[in-house]
Amino acid sequence: MPVILLTNHYNEGPFSIVQEAVPEGFSLVTLDEPTKEELIKKAKEAEYFLVSGRLPIDKEVLDAAPKLKMIQRTGVGTEMLDMEALKEKNIPIYVNPGVNAVSVAEHAVMHILAALRRITIVNGNVKKGIWAKQDTGVKSKELRGKTVGMLGMGNIGRNVVKMLSGFGVNIVYYDMFRLKEDQEKELGITYYSQEEVFKKADILSLHCPLTPDTKGIINEKSIALMKKGVVIVNTARGGLIDEAALIKALESGQVGAAGLDVFAKEPPDKANPLFSFENVSVSPHVGGLTYEAFKSMMVEATHNMKLFEEGKVEELESKKLNK
């Protein structure tokens, strides 16, 4: 019976969804706690890794898994994978492109609206008994008429565009791989250089992967190019933002508000200065984890393993990462 090792630890609710998704004829092994030591301990019997969470899948882990045939990501991020070590061992990696794109896109739009309507401040005031209707209202802003700048126009970015289409916004974007002209026209978006997107955006939403080129892309230099009072929303990867630079810009008012689902360190320290700003909405990297998205991630991921076990690898070609 093929053994799947889930490289994360889930509580009862999420774990029950994973259990239901496991194909007949497979067994599921889980970690008692999310540590590398536990991962190495449980890896020896695994033929498949279902990679979730941020535990590194490095040479030490792979050396502890002599039976490993294939690695399946629940999503698309690969920063936890040692690609060189996997290449050396000739272990194929499969991802689930777009599986939670709608969920993340909805979360990004939520943070945008929360920032403009100052929901974190308004919510706190009402709960304190402060009912300053007019004073509160005139400090908030509409989304209509704003320029939304987007870094990255993959599955998530395109879903954000579609969701924003009814708000009467102007959308500009930058992506290393520019869309075709007919795609841009259909989406109603305009391509600019990265620098121009920084300059034009009233709201900047990040939807690019974390790579050596994008690490710290939001920094003192890039923030200085932006409009005073810009809103920055990050539902991609925490490492895209130099948090010290963001804190400084929030203090000066150069950044008017931020919506953060991801952080440089996860979970962040309780004393993270970003938590002290009333105009910063935060969430625990849950953009892609609605019930519907989580279930789809697990069902598709385990189905891919079943196809692989049955030798139907041609059906997985579009999902293979290291071709």
- pLDDT digit string (tens) for 221-257? 999 999 999 999 999 999 999 999 999 999 999 999 9
Beta sheet of 170-174, edge-to-edge order: 189-191, 170-174, 147-151, 203-206, 230-234, 255-260, 280-282
Is the entire prediction scored with pTM above 0.75? yes
Pairing verdict, β 230-234 and 255-260: parallel
pLDDT band at 123 (very low <50, low <70, confident <90, very high): very high
Higher pLDDT, 76 or 212: 212
pLDDT recorded at residue 77: 81
CA dihedral 101, 102, 107, 111 (to 10 degrees): 100
Per CATH, the number for 101-282 is 3.40.50.720
pLDDT band at 63 (very low <50, low <70, confident <90, very high): very high
Share of the chain above pLDDT 70, in %: 100
Query: Mean pLDDT lowest for which of 91-100, 221-230, 255-264?
Result: 91-100
pLDDT recorded at residue 192: 98
CA dihedral sign of residues 300, 306, 309, 315: negative
pLDDT band at 62 (very low <50, low <70, confident <90, very high): very high
Average pLDDT rounded to a whole number, residues 303-318 = 95
Average pLDDT rounded to a whole number, residues 274-288 = 96
CA 73 to CA 94: how far, in whole Å? 6
Per CATH, the number for 3-99+290-319 is 3.40.50.720
Whether the Cβ atoms of residue 158 and residue 187 lie closer than 8 Å to each other: yes
pLDDT band at 276 (very low <50, low <70, confident <90, very high): very high
Segment 29-34 long-range contacts (CB within 8 Å, at least 24 positions apart): 29/3, 29/4, 29/5, 30/5, 30/6, 31/6, 31/7, 33/9, 34/8, 34/9
pLDDT recorded at residue 76: 84
Q: Which of 18, 79, 28 is nearest to 49 (CA)?
A: 28
Give the residue range(s) of CATH 3.40.50.720 domains in the chain: 3-99+290-319, 101-282
Active site residues: 237, 266, 285
Average pLDDT rounded to a whole number, residues 115-141 = 93
pLDDT recorded at residue 322: 79
CA dihedral sign of residues 23, 29, 33, 37: negative
CA 206 to CA 80: how far, in whole Å? 20
Query: Mean pLDDT lowest for which of 75-89, 152-166, 223-237, 284-298?
Result: 75-89
pLDDT recorded at residue 321: 86
Position 323 pLDDT exceeds 80: no
pLDDT recorded at residue 238: 96
Average pLDDT rounded to a whole number, residues 18-45 = 94
Q: Residues 5-25: pLDDT tens digits?
A: 999 999 999 999 999 999 999
- And the tokens for 11? 């509580």
Average pLDDT rounded to a whole number, residues 84-97 = 93
Q: Over the chain, what is the mean pLDDT?
A: 95
- And the tokens for 236? 């991609």
Position 75 pLDDT exceeds 90: no
pLDDT recorded at residue 159: 98
pLDDT recorded at residue 53: 79
